[in-house]
Amino acid sequence: MLRYQGSRVFGGYAIAPALVLQRAVKEASRAHIDDAEAECARFRAAREKAAKELADLRERTLKEMDDELARIFDVHHSMLFDADFEESVLDIIHAERVNAEYAVLVTGERYADEFASMDNAYMQARAADIADISNRVIRILRGETETHLLETTSPVILVAKDLTPSEIVRLDTAHVLAIVTRYGSLNSHAAILAGSKGIPMVIGVDYDDDIDGKTCIVDAYGALLIVGPDDATLGEYKEKKEKDEENTSLLLALKGKDNITKDGHRIDIFCNIGGEKDVADAIKNDAGGIGLFRSEYLYLRSADYPSEEEQFQAYKTVAQRMEGKKVVIRTLDIGADKRVDYFSLRPEHNPALGYRAVRICLDRPEILKVQLRAILRASAFGNIDVMYPMITSIWEVQQLKNIFEDVKSDLSDEHIAFSDKVAQGVMIETPAAVLISELLAQEVDFFSIGTNDLTQYLLASDRQNPMLERFFDPHHPAVLKAIRMVTENAHRYRKRVGICGELAADTLLTEYFLSLHVDELSVTPSRVLAVRDAVRKTDLSK
């Protein structure tokens, strides 16, 4: 059994034999010609035929997907008829007395190289579009018709070096259960089209060519290709696949519906995300907003403090993609089990009770200021709030608020835009925060109860210690009572209260949370609809 890691384009599971696409290598060979004019005419005729093919692809995309995606082939059409592209082809034919196939190949490669070398991932991905159109013209010049990519009558996992946008559109989704490619980009039109066709796809997988015909599992959520799985793995993934399909049918039935009980109580169901990569899942599962955007990944993935600009881009992307829906960004929660070398933190005997999160930020406000600047700048592009983790005392909150005000006035002085509606909230995850929640409610705009840490601290049970499993009881009366206290104290001061952490998705407790009038449950994307289902089945009047 072999595992290969890649990057996810579109999530899903598939179990089927691999079919490795073998493209006959057809180099456009250089040939001398005598009649340059006739060769130019051949090019123009081939281009007309290519335009017809593109019109058919456009039509098909429009019918199966939508107009926005169909416009990808308008772009191909414009590239094909671009004056510079044409001039280059005709110049090469005349100057070098070569065949049109070769002139198109050279021109296509030149533009593809130009795009591939740009410092912008969007533009780099356009190299694949250029390659798609020049291959199309070269094929037509050879007198070949567009063949089907694969002839198969049984389900397969399609494995290829790369696929073009037009190949994706023409794929037979009844038989291609998933796509795995070695190259490609998340920004490519091929990736966008595969996602829109709903085909699980993983790119950047360095597979071995001998996997052809072998049984494979694609776990596109985890961006994983498993070749030749053993029985246990196969069983595990069959179950995952079944659950995923169940969730998909739930999704179809519950998408767009309100989170409302039978007797009319409403609650918001938001998502927890760990990066831009999770936003698509949140949207797909109909999240009402992002209740917890963990920002640690920006710090964990880099070798030095992430810049304001890098953070700004990440926050802005998420805010824009959520289109005005609430996005709550939690400031860095580094320390404890999330350690980063460049923070130069000393080893600790008891990291869970240690130097982490705002405790670091209050000592080194310059780190937090960079993050708050990025968050505030991004607030001009969407509906952003900020949330501080690991709070135990009022003075911490007051100092954090002062830092926040400093950053705002710096930005104003620099004439940098930000929203003045950014609310500040705190995580309630320590027993101290629960016990002073009445005071905290007067200091901040909202609470979010982090049940994982709260349970561990209330019950004095390390949640990563398997020996403590039966002592680590998230349904313990102390935990439930703490949630009640916090909610009542927040509401006394008309502040919003949410629950993030695994308990929020626990449908055994949905009715309890509703009865407390908790305002929001923030859950992992795949649980949104299950929780919605539980809400809609609840009747508090009974």
Catalytic residues: 189, 500
State the nearest-atom distance from the C-beta of 371 to another protein, in Å.
21
State the nearest-atom distance from the C-beta of 320 to another protein, in Å.
6
Closer residue to another protein in complex, CB, 73/457:
73
CA 298/CA 474 separation, integer angstroms: 30
State the nearest-atom distance from the C-beta of 293 to another protein, in Å.
18
In Å, how far from its chain's centre is CA 248? Answer: 18
State the nearest-atom distance from the C-beta of 73 to another protein, in Å.
10
State the nearest-atom distance from the C-beta of 519 to another protein, in Å.
30
In the structure encoding, which two tokens stand for residue 111, read together? 């533009």
CA 330/CA 449 separation, integer angstroms: 12
- Three-state secondary structure along 478-537? HHHHHHHHHHHHHHHCCCEEEEECHHHHCCCCHHHHHHHCCCEEEECHHHHHHHHHHHHH
Counting other chains too, the contacts that 345-353 makes at CB distance below 8 Å and 24 or more residues apart are 352/456, 352/462
CA 520/CA 7 separation, integer angstroms: 32
Q: Which of 399, 365, 372 has its CA nearest to residue 387?
A: 372
Residue pair 511/517 in contact (Cβ under 8 Å)? The answer is: no
Give the DSSP letter of residue 384. Answer: E
Give the burial string for 43-65 (b: 16+ CB within 10 Å, else e). beebbeebeebbeebbeebeeeb
The total of other beta-carbon atoms located within 10 Å of residue 162's CB is 17
In the structure encoding, which two tokens stand for residue 497, read together? 């209260």
State the nearest-atom distance from the C-beta of 341 to another protein, in Å.
32
Closer residue to another protein in complex, CB, 196/320:
320
Closer residue to another protein in complex, CB, 380/480:
380
Residues that bind another protein (CB under 8 A): 68, 71-72, 74-75, 78-79, 82-85, 111, 114-115, 118-120, 122-123, 126, 129, 189, 320
Residue pair 99/39 in contact (Cβ under 8 Å)? The answer is: yes
State the nearest-atom distance from the C-beta of 78 to another protein, in Å.
5
Non-local CB neighbours of 454 within 8 Å, separated by 6+ positions: 428, 429, 430, 431, 434, 479, 482, 501
CA 506/CA 448 separation, integer angstroms: 16
- DSSP 3-state assignment of 111? helix
In the structure encoding, which two tokens stand for residue 1, read together? 């059994």
477, amino acid identity:
P
The beta-strand segments (E) located in 310-445 are 326-330, 383-388, 424-428
